[in-house]
């Protein structure tokens, strides 16, 4: 039975799901050294924000198949290291959506009316109304940076409160923004026009210190900032200076560059203009249950050999779409394996052309499948859907993806062209019916053959007797031919011959085939 280590507190609902398929060990607050010692025993690791999964831990996890983060952010996981090891990393991007969005709204309102400081004032025995005169959000402009699920929900609630909406998100269409009541603008315009700015984007090299001194200078002196996304998006030192000198009116932070927030952080010294909470965005009873269930289900599915729906290091697919694409993934992997062996040795480039119906569907999983096939002959079980793209990149393989919906020879077909040590070769394939794979083209010669475990490909002159000579030669070596087909463009011109054979070719026979008059090249392939 697989073993799962749960190294942070997880709701019981998640533990019950994992217990259906695995032995579950709950060991929280483990020092890194101890985690490194025990992780080789486990097939899966489930965490929240408390456990830092470093490269050392990942390298020690020789049996790890999946790391599950019960929450949105995975910045406490070395995702590139996991990807190199072929370990799936999953999160729960939707489990705490409502909780995070509601906290952002609460922070905006709390900051506007100084609720936290007013509460402390009353509880200390004072009745000071004048010091806590706030502002209304009604008819104010809210700038939403990041229109994902959380940002979109914040926008919806804010609009219901009578706020005007600006948005910045380079990956969202104008149509989608308009559906949410947002005017899509450049970031500089948002900084300049917004009364409130709420951040809902991941921390990346591009977003680190996005709100810096230069950005703060562009804002209105009445502007207020809310960050319930990730720490490090705001330059905290610059924010403190802006608040102290009245360059902006206020800020509300739930996340910080370093957590827990340092005791001597200058943020703690700012007055009522700054509202601070200890990373409470996902801290609702409902959210904790939701993320635990979501990630536990994904770990369970992966341990059962099923796909994860929210993997951060492989193309995510809805179950219905995965089922639809599954035969094409097998097609892509088969063709990738075939063209790699035809091109030979070190592959320099791979051109992937999606044709017909495939040109309009989500293509990234098919591209990954082709890369997995391309590398499988050399890397065997070391390559999978998680690390195929990275392995290709690290080997300097130039990957080009193109689409051509106009090619309708089949409902959907795939064309791969690779350049390797044996030259440039291409293959194409399609599905017959729902799942029957056919190789439809080899080096631009039309064929129609099913893939076979052992295959022989020849490039030759189309001339009388050549097929018989190859058949006789194979027979003399006791090689049985399962099927044979010849593809040609013109009579007596160049041609390709594809043979499916029952067993691997004996040593020395390939050299004899190359001696046959008219044979230019011959390749054996094992699929």
Q: What is the pLDDT of residues 457-502, one digit of tens each?
A: 999 998 898 889 999 999 998 999 999 999 988 888 899 999 999 9
Q: Which two tokens stand for residue 331?
A: 């097609």
The Cα 249–Cα 99 span in angstroms is 26
Indicate whether 142 pLDDT > 70. yes
Of the residues 183, 279, 326, 377, only one is catalytic, namely 279
Terminus-to-terminus CA distance in the chain, angstroms?
31
Q: HEC states along 297-349? A: HHHHHHHCCCCCCCECCCCCCCHHHHHHHHHHHHHHHHHHHHHHHHHCCCCCE
CB 241: neighbour CB atoms within 10 A? 14
CB 124: neighbour CB atoms within 10 A? 8
pLDDT at res. 174: 81
pLDDT at res. 127: 97
Of the residues 84, 153, 224, 230, only one is catalytic, namely 230
Q: Which of 420, 367, 370, 363 is nearest to 396 (CA)?
A: 420
Indicate whether 73 pLDDT > 70. yes
Distance of CA 443 to the CA centre of its chain: 33
Percent of the chain scored above 90 by pLDDT? 66
Domains of the chain by start residue, with CATH: 3-94+287-303 (3.40.50.720), 97-276 (3.40.50.720), 316-449 (3.30.1330.90), 452-527 (3.30.70.260)
The Cα 459–Cα 462 span in angstroms is 9
Question: Pseudo-torsion of CA 25, 31, 32, 37, nearest 10°?
Answer: -50
Of the residues 136, 259, 262, 394, only one is catalytic, namely 259
Strands 88-90 and 196-199: unpaired
CB 27: neighbour CB atoms within 10 A? 12
Q: Is 230 one of the annotated active-site residues of the chain?
A: yes
Indicate whether 453 pLDDT > 60. yes
Indicate whether 320 pLDDT > 80. no
Average pLDDT over every residue of 345-363: 83
The mean-pLDDT minimum among 62-71, 101-110, 488-497 falls in 488-497
Indicate whether 318 pLDDT > 60. no
Q: Is 259 one of the annotated active-site residues of the chain?
A: yes
Indicate whether 297 pLDDT > 70. yes
Q: Is the Cβ–Cβ distance between 167 and 154 less than 8 Å? A: no
Q: Is 357 one of the annotated active-site residues of the chain?
A: no
More confident residue, 75 or 191: 191
What predicted TM-score, i.e. pTM, was given to this entire model? 0.60
CB 361: neighbour CB atoms within 10 A? 16
Alpha helices per DSSP H over 248-284:
none
Q: Which of 61, 70, 59 is nearest to 18 (CA)?
A: 70
pLDDT at res. 184: 94
Indicate whether 383 pLDDT > 80. no
Indicate whether 448 pLDDT > 90. yes
pLDDT at res. 348: 86
Average pLDDT over every residue of 400-418: 84
């Amino acid at each position: 039975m697989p073993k799962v280590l749960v190294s942070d507190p997880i709701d019981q609902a998640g533990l019950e799901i994992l217990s259906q398929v695995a032995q579950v060990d709950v060991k929280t607050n483990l020092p890194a050294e101890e985690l490194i010692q025990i992780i080789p025993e486990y097939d899966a690791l489930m965490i929240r924000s408390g456990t830092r999964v470093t490269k050392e831990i990942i390298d020690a996890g020789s049996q790890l198949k999946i790391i599950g983060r019960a929450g949105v952010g995975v910045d406490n996981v070395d995702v590139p290291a996991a990807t190199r090891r072929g370990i799936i990393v999953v999160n729960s991007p939707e489990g705490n959506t409502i909780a995070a969005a509601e906290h952002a709204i609460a922070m905006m309102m709390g900051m506007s009316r100084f609720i936290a400081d007013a509460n402390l004032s009353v509880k200390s025995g004072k009745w000071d109304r004048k010091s806590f005169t706030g502002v209304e959000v009604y008819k104010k402009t809210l700038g939403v940076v990041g229109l994902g699920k959380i940002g979109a929900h914040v926008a919806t609630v804010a609009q219901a409160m009578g706020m005007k909406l600006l948005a910045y998100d380079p990956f969202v269409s104008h149509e989608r923004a308009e559906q949410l009541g947002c005017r899509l603008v450049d970031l500089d315009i948002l900084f300049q026009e917004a009364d409130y700015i709420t951040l809902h984007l991941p921390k990346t090299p591009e977003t680190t210190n996005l709100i810096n001194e230069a950005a703060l200078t562009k804002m209105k002196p009445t502007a207020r900032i809310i960050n319930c996304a990730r720490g490090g998006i705001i330059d905290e030192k610059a924010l403190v200076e802006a608040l102290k000198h009245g360059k902006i009116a206020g800020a509300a932070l739930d996340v910080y560059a370093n957590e827990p927030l340092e005791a001597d952080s200058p943020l703690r010294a700012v007055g009522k203009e700054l509202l601070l909470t200890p990373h409470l965005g996902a801290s609702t009873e409902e959210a904790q249950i939701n993320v635990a269930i979501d990630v536990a289900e994904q770990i369970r599915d992966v341990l059962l050999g099923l796909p994860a729906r929210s993997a951060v290091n492989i193309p995510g697919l809805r179950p219905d779409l995965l089922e639809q694409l599954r035969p094409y993934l097998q097609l892509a992997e088969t063709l990738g394996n075939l063209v790699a062996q035809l091109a030979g040795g070190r592959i320099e480039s791979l051109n992937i052309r999606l044709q017909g119906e495939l040109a309009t569907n989500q293509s990234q999983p098919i591209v990954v499948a082709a890369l997995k096939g391309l590398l499988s002959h050399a890397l065997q079980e070391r390559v999978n859907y998680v690390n195929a793209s990275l392995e290709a990149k690290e080997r300097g393989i130039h990957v080009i993806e193109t689409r051509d919906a106009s090619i309708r020879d089949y409902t959907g077909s795939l064309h791969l062209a690779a350049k390797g040590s044996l030259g440039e070769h291409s293959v194409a394939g399609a599905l017959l019916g729902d799942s029957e794979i056919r190789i439809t083209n080899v080096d631009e010669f039309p064929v129609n053959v099913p893939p076979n475990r052992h295959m022989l490909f020849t490039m030759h002159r189309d001339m009388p007797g050549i097929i018989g000579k190859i058949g006789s030669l194979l027979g003399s070596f006791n090689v049985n031919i399962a099927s044979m087909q010849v593809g040609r463009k013109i009579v007596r011109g160049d041609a390709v011959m594809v043979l499916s054979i029952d067993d691997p070719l004996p040593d020395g026979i390939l050299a004899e085939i190359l001696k046959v008059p008219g044979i230019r090249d011959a390749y054996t392939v094992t699929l």
